[in-house]
Amino acid sequence: MLLRAPITTIVVLLALSGCATPERCADQQFFKAFVDGKPNPNRYFPGVGELPVDRDVNIRVSICNREAAEAFCVEVYPTEGMPFRFLEPRSTVLLKSNPAAVDLPFKKVSYNVACHGPTLQEKDADCQSSTDSPLEGSLSISKTRVRAANVGSNYYYLNAYEFPPDATFRGANVSATFMVSIRRKYEVVTQPFEPSRTREMVVTLPRVVIGSRTLDVPQVSFRYVTENVCLPNRPLSLQ
């Protein structure tokens, strides 16, 4: 059974399945996302802009912290086997009331694959997603083991992969449970920058190529706000 719903919908459904659990709510300061002037209808993700582009690819944008610096994170979820690439590996940021735009190049594209097995060798690995390269052409891809633990008779570990932001890559499935698969998340990170906490920021992403189609991506804006944010007492992320 392959779910085609946006990833946030999937994880919230999983988080809220079974017995109801109380929420944890608190006032927080964060960058709130708006698409077409509207906040994310999923109240558990007010800092994420869900961009309607195409049924074969879900795209999300947020301001994230990577390597002790703030940046834009663009999450891409193509359907299995669907080729995807950015026409230009950069985003443009415009501060409202300021005509000067800032270009932020994309640094890399990354994704993770979780595996387990009786050893740490690839020949014994049982992985939640394919370990084959998703890249088209002969571009190189780097692999790093970022976490490993021995539990009982098995090792559980996470491999992180990175490749250049101008590459064409294909979607893949991740086995979330025995019966459910979801789309793999590819994360694209920009160069670090200092986001404005006083003026609204309008972010323009490059056009994208999905299969044989070239499509525009809606703009997303961010405002620094103080609001009450609630989370359920269950994890909201599977990747």
Say how far apart CA 170 and CA 187 lie, in whole Å.
13
Rounded CA-CA distance 106/192 in Å is 10
pLDDT value at position 11?
A: 42
- List pLDDT tens digits, range 186-208: 999 999 999 999 999 999 999 99
Q: Is residue 8 scored above 60 in pLDDT?
A: no
DSSP 1-29: -B--S-HHHHHHHHHHSSS---EEEEEEE
The pLDDT assigned to 236 comes to 58
Q: Which domain holds residue 36?
A: 7-11+25-132+140-228
Number of structural domains found in the chain: 1
For 206-239, the pLDDT digits (tens) are 999 999 999 999 999 999 999 999 887 766 555 7
Backbone region of residue 138 per phi and psi (left: phi > 0; alpha: psi in -120 to 50; beta: other values): alpha
Whether 223 is covered by a domain: the verdict is yes
Query: Does residue 178 lie within any of the structural domains?
Result: yes
DSSP, residue by residue, 76-129:
EEEPBT-EEEESSSEEEEEETT---EEEEEEEEEEEEEEEEESSSSGGG-EESS
* Rounded mean pLDDT, 25-53: 93
| C-beta neighbour count of 83 within 10 angstroms | 16
Would you say residue 1 lies in a domain?
no
Is 90 exceeded by the pLDDT of residue 164?
A: yes
Asked if residue 188 lies in contact with residue 74, where contact means CB atoms within 8 angstroms, the answer is yes
Asked whether residue 86 is assigned to any structural domain, the reply reads yes
- CA-angle at 157, arms to 156 and 163, nearest 5°: 155
Classify residue 20: in a domain, yes or no. Answer: no
* pLDDT above 60 (res 2): no
- Across the chain, mean pLDDT equals 87
Amino acid at 93: V
pLDDT digits (tens, 9 = 90+) for 109-157: 999 999 999 998 888 889 999 999 999 988 889 999 988 898 888 999 9
In-domain check, residue 31: yes
